[in-house]
Amino acid sequence: MAQPDVTTLILGAGAAGMMCAAHAGAGVIVIDHARAPGEKIRISGGGRCNFTNLHAAPENFLSENPHFCKSALARYTQWDFLDLVARHRIPWHEKTLGQLFCDRSAKDIIAMLRAEMAAAELWLETSVDEIGHDGTRFRARLTREGRPVTVTARHLVLATGGKSIPKMGATGLAYDIARQFGHGLTETRPALVPLTFDEAQKAVFAGLAGTAVDTRIACNGTAFDEAMLFTHRGLSGPAVLQVSSYWREGDALHVRLRPDLDLYAQLRARRTEAGAKAVTTALAEILPKKLAQHLAAAWGLQGTLADQSDAALRALADRLADWTLTPTSSEGYRTAEVTLGGVATDRVSSRTMESALVPGLFVIGEALDVTGWLGGYNFQWAWSSAVAAGRAI
């Protein structure tokens, strides 16, 4: 079999790998062990791909070095990506909070990237057996559709993502190769992931499964105003996924129910208007009925509104504003949207994503220790870091 010698070998045909191929010039091979490129794009955003966020800014990313993402995000922005989407005439809409989705299907984004990287060769069903470096060129021993093949390349781009959803082919390959070349890793954890609870709490939540409520959830100094969803396994919904990136074992979540309302004022107003109303009934006008009934039972709320003193209503409002829940764990990589942590950024150029240890080695996308919030931020990081590397190549 031929032993191609190319300028650039990109490992991973996901969001970052394809975008990098589109910007890396001539002589590019992109390999992936999957049967199709961009599989996570295909399933993202419920099949419509939340491809960027209008408000994307460095503050929306977690990393041991919060400054690292700034340069790449500034040099290839959400507006640049939107221009690309417009050039390909892909219809899109803003759903909420600056989150942009395809009108039709995430497949539009994959087709766009395929067209943009048309000059590159794409090898699917190709696995990596060994990577070496002789001081000037990388040497990759691969298995392509069952046959061994060796590729040599001046540049090697690690774009194989993180560990989330192993069923879809996620592996720790980028971490292993980065480590082989002397790079450190920061602790990796499932992030943007539902949180789970002990059996007693789980049974309670199972009774509320399917109920969603507007919340502000705070953990370790960061809070998100979004919906919380009760499930048979614990808690999910955007507010919980967001805060999961900040949560560590043993930490409590501080849940403010209905942060849009002054709950004390609401309860007092209802007492004035309809004092004969049961407290539980009044609560069910503010919260989903099932949740109101659960809290009333759990907190022993009894009697009518008229029975409640100002102090009692204040205490109830305070409880609703700081419902403390302590998860025991998360659903793990099986359902996590992203991996927190990854290849440490301390030996990687923030302008080019090139290794400071091995010239010609690049790390992009989720494989790096840069993790976005929920809402299109992770794809924006994939695009921005990929373009930074592609331009440098």
Q: Which residues bind ligand FDA (CB under 6 A)?
A: 12-17, 32-34, 39-40, 43-45, 49-50, 127-128, 159-161, 164-165, 169-171, 173, 337-338, 365-367, 376-379, 382
Of 171 and 280, CB closest to ligand FDA: 171
Locate 152 and state its tokens.
Answer: 């040599």
CB of 44 to ligand FDA, least distance (A): 3
CB of 89 to ligand FDA, least distance (A): 21
Of 156 and 257, CB closest to ligand FDA: 156
Instruction: Give the nearest residue (CB) to ligand FDA.
Output: 14
User: Which residues lie closer than 8 Å to 134 by C-beta, 6 or more apart?
Assistant: none
User: Which residues lie closer than 8 Å to 297 by C-beta, 6 or more apart?
Assistant: none
CB of 389 to ligand FDA, least distance (A): 12
Of 190 and 327, CB closest to ligand FDA: 190
CB of 31 to ligand FDA, least distance (A): 6
Of 31 and 320, CB closest to ligand FDA: 31
Ramachandran angles phi, psi of 117, nearest 5°: -100, 25
C-alpha 97/C-alpha 55 separation (Å) is 8
Of 32 and 214, CB closest to ligand FDA: 32
Locate 172 and state its tokens.
Answer: 């720790």
CB of 160 to ligand FDA, least distance (A): 4
User: Do residues 224 and 241 touch, judged by C-beta distance below 8 A?
Assistant: no
Of 33 and 216, CB closest to ligand FDA: 33
User: Do residues 37 and 148 touch, judged by C-beta distance below 8 A?
Assistant: no
CB of 217 to ligand FDA, least distance (A): 20
The type of residue at 168 is M
3-state secondary structure string, 296-353? Answer: HHHCCCCCEHHHCCHHHHHHHHHHHHCEEECCCEECHHHCCCEEECCECHHHECCCCC
Of 284 and 338, CB closest to ligand FDA: 338
C-alpha 63/C-alpha 16 separation (Å) is 18
CB of 207 to ligand FDA, least distance (A): 27
User: Which residues lie closer than 8 Å to 239 by C-beta, 6 or more apart?
Assistant: 215, 216, 217, 224, 225, 226, 227, 228
